[in-house]
């Protein structure tokens, strides 16, 4: 009986413990907050800017760099905005491809957002030399944000195909939705967009004319009309500087964009317009 009583008591204690545990509510682990989403504000009239389709399209082959310094999301954004244009065959190029391939097989090279110095390391000295020769011989170059940094002439690691530098070494200006406005030179190339329009910006270069005597001055196509200056970056240096610009290098054409129209609703055609312009009709280096 003593053994049975002890067993019954043990069972009762276990039942009580189980009942108590079932009544305890355990707090769920806090969920990570989703990354912030930029909501594009409408203009004063409630309208959304739409960049028209590029005109005068010819069959072209476009190489898009994908490697160190170019996050997959940036590469995907370029591929996405080029996809509707059947005239453009898009090929993904690794750093090794850029360094070793005969780039003459392409009409345009696109270097997307990310890190300009990282992209330079990704293609190496051989890639830098190969890209410079490609553009100098008549190829087109399109640089977006990091790719625009890469084109500049004030960095030891840069391509030096654009007679531009940056106003400050402090580049972490932040993310924002900024106002742009077309220049007269920009309307034939990008489309006649009246007034200011909104664009996504993420630490892109603030360009200024550089001191090269062997290169022509760049031509601004759009201008920043507002700015962001976080992380102790200089204030008052972004407004009225070039957001998109074009120039030539040797026989080739160079198009750069500091902000990200490829990630801005309504502006998706801006980068394709730059790509087709950079390809040229017959790779002739003629500015609009």
pTM as predicted: 0.83
Q: What is the pLDDT of residue 48?
A: 73
Q: What is the pLDDT of residue 41?
A: 52
pLDDT in tens, 5-52: 555 555 554 444 444 444 433 334 444 444 444 454 554 445 678 899
Euclidean distance between CA atoms 73 and 76, whole angstroms: 5
Q: Which of 171, 134, 127, 128 is nearest to 149 (CA)?
A: 171
Q: What is the pLDDT of residue 21?
A: 42
The pLDDT confidence band at residue 88, using thresholds 50, 70 and 90, is: very high
Residue 193 dihedral angles phi and psi, to the nearest 5°: -105, 115
Question: What value does the mean pLDDT take over residues 114-143?
Answer: 98
Q: What is the pLDDT of residue 9?
A: 57
Angle at 26 between CA 25 and CA 28, to 5 degrees: 130
Averaged pLDDT score across all residues of the chain: 87
Give strand pairing partners of 68. Answer: none
Q: Which of 206, 224, 190 is nearest to 149 (CA)?
A: 206
Q: Which of 113, 168, 111 is nearest to 134 (CA)?
A: 111
Q: What is the pLDDT of residue 281?
A: 81
Alpha carbons within 13 A on the beta-carbon side of 191: 18
pLDDT in tens, 154-206: 999 999 999 999 999 999 999 999 999 999 999 999 988 889 999 999 999 99
User: Residue 43 is encoded by which pair of tokens?
Assistant: 């203009």
pLDDT in tens, 213-266: 999 999 999 999 999 999 999 999 999 999 999 999 999 999 999 999 999 999
Question: What value does the mean pLDDT take over residues 280-284?
Answer: 66
Of residues 33 and 100, more confidently modeled:
100
Q: What is the pLDDT of residue 277?
A: 97
Domains and CATH numbers, the chain: 60-165+207-221+242-279 (3.40.50.880)
Q: What is the pLDDT of residue 15?
A: 46
Q: What is the pLDDT of residue 16?
A: 46
């Amino acid at each position: 009986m003593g053994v049975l009583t002890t067993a019954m008591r043990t069972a009762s204690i276990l039942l009580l413990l189980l009942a108590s545990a079932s009544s305890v509510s355990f707090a769920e682990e806090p969920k990570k907050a989703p990354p912030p989403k930029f909501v594009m504000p409408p203009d004063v009239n409630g309208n959304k800017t739409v960049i028209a389709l590029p005109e005068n399209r010819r069959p072209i082959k476009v190489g898009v760099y994908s490697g160190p310094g170019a996050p997959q999301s940036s590469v995907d954004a370029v591929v996405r905005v080029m996809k509707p244009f059947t005239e453009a065959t898009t090929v993904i190029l690794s750093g090794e491809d850029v360094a070793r391939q005969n780039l003459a097989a392409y009409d345009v090279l696109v270097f997307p957002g990310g890190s300009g110095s990282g992209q330079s390391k990704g293609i190496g000295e051989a890639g830098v030399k190969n890209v410079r020769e490609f553009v100098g011989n008549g190829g087109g170059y399109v640089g977006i944000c990091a790719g625009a940094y890469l084109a500049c002439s004030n960095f030891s690691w840069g391509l030096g195909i654009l007679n531009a530098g940056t106003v400050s070494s402090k580049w972490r200006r932040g993310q924002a939705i900024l106002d742009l406005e077309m220049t007269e030179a920009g309307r034939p190339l990008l489309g006649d967009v009246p007034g200011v329009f909104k664009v996504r910006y993420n630490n892109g270069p603030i360009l200024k004319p550089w001191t090269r005597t062997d290169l022509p001055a760049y031509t601004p196509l759009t201008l920043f009309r507002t700015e962001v200056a976080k992380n102790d970056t200089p204030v008052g240096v972004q407004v009225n500087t070039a957001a998109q610009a074009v120039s030539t290098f040797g026989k080739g054409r160079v198009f750069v964009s500091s902000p990200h129209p490829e990630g801005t609703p309504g502006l998706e055609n801006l980068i394709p317009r730059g790509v087709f312009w950079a390809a040229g009709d017959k790779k002739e280096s003629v500015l609009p």
